[in-house]
Amino acid sequence: MTEEDLILLIACGSMIIWCFSFLLFTRTSMKTIERKMLDEGIDIPWWDEKGWGLRISTFVSVLARGKQSKIPVLADEAILRHARTYDRVLARVVSYSFIIFMLVSIYIVYMADL
């Protein structure tokens, strides 16, 4: 296995892991947390009522960091309160796999002659 093959394997593997974990996060973690928030009376933000998915990255970043942001866009406290360990781990998998995929992709595009 050459260096180019290894780089492509890492890129493809991290992309597949990111896509699968992203889908799992939106279908399991976000649905559960949003349902609990709606039971408390906390609505979906007005800027994402049509379901464009703009709040997904905010959910992931809040759960991956494990603390509230200084200027919360969503109800960070409620997200952290309702999150399970599974949700936090899955948010970290989404974040890390995306970062690895982007770094390797940037390397492939700008620095490697593949």
Tokens (6 digits) for 79: 């997200």
What does each of the 114 residues of the chain score in pLDDT, given as a tens digit? 888 889 889 999 999 999 999 999 999 999 999 999 999 998 877 777 777 778 888 889 999 998 888 887 788 889 999 999 999 999 999 999 999 999 999 998 888 665
Domain spans in the chain, listed from the N-terminal domain onward:
3-42+55-109
CA–CA gap between residue 49 and residue 58 (Å, rounded): 15
pLDDT at res. 84: 94
Show the tokens assigned to 96: 């890390």
- Helix/strand number for the chain, H first, E second: 5, 0
Distance CA 43, CA 5 (A): 47
